[in-house]
Structure 1
């Protein structure tokens, strides 16, 4: 099986937007089909609908990490603060590399383009992998029954 980092980059190069490339590479771990992941993340590309706000790759990274850090207990919400902490941790790792999670700042005011954004997709996927490995047993994550 192709690793999810490589798959994210390949999907981006194939024409998926930055957010779709990430979310579609993790769709099976999230228990959703690729078309659903594609549709859910379509509006997040280009920094939220090409408005160059929060980077779409970062937004998808947040979604994947949030899924795994949430306890899924609708009424309790006990995992919320820990989840926020992990989202900030992932943002800090991305900021360390690019100085921001804001698309316009990352791209220095330029419109998103394939070469510029492909690197961000790769690095967002690397951060996901790093945090999933450090916070979870990957075997457990990949075989998680409670989707």
Structure 2
């Protein structure tokens, strides 16, 4: 177990899905709540679209990178490192999924497309950890609210 696993179990027990948990972990580190964002993240639950889609842990991770590096207001610009950060996450996940599973979709990762807490929890933890590493390596502080 790593430092995120207890929180992942707690959030899963509260009914949050994979993509929501990745983002909620970051919001908790910041000490903020964002119910609208959490509702929006439910659109990626268990793969998009549905179990035949890409794993929600990695799509949630992509959303978390964009939460820090994306354009949020009319007077803002997207961070010029966002595309590189997303590419790094994608490359890492593609390699990880190819090594561990038969593909990138939920249905490739868990038997019959059914959620498996042990497998999905490990993926959430791995994706969240990778996102934090990418953020820090690119000059972002995950503990600072992105407003």
TM-score interval, normalised by the smaller of the two chains? 0.7 to 0.9
1:19 corresponding residue in structure 2 = 19
What do residues 84-138 of structure 1 show as CA deviations (whole Å, max 9, x unaligned)? 2211111111222222432222336532222221111111111111112211253
Q: 1:9 to 1:22 in 2, by over 3 A?
A: farther
Asked if 2 retains the 8 angstrom alpha-carbon contact of 1:18 and 1:57, the reply is yes
TM-score of the aligned structures, taking structure 2 as reference length: 0.74
1:101 corresponding residue in structure 2 = 104
Counterpart CA distance in 1 for 2:70 and 2:38 is: 22
List runs of 5+ in structure 2 lacking aligned partners. none
2:50 corresponding residue in structure 1 = 50
Q: Displacement, 1:54? A: 1.4
Number of aligned residue pairs: 141
| Farther off after superposition, 107-116 or 89-98 | 107-116
Asked if 1 retains the 8 angstrom alpha-carbon contact of 2:70 and 2:82, the reply is yes
Asked if 2 retains the 8 angstrom alpha-carbon contact of 1:11 and 1:21, the reply is yes
Task: Report whether the alignment pairs 1:120 with 2:114.
Answer: no
Q: 1:8 to 1:67 in 2, by over 3 A?
A: same
SS at match of 1:33: coil
What do residues 14-54 of structure 1 show as CA deviations (whole Å, max 9, x unaligned)? 43111111111122578962433331111211102533301
* Higher fraction of helix: 1
1:143 corresponding residue in structure 2 = 144
Counterpart CA distance in 1 for 2:73 and 2:15 is: 36
Q: Which segments of structure 1 move beyond 4 Å, counting only runs of 4 or more?
A: 3-6, 28-32, 75-78
Q: 1:87 to 1:5 in 2, by over 3 A?
A: farther
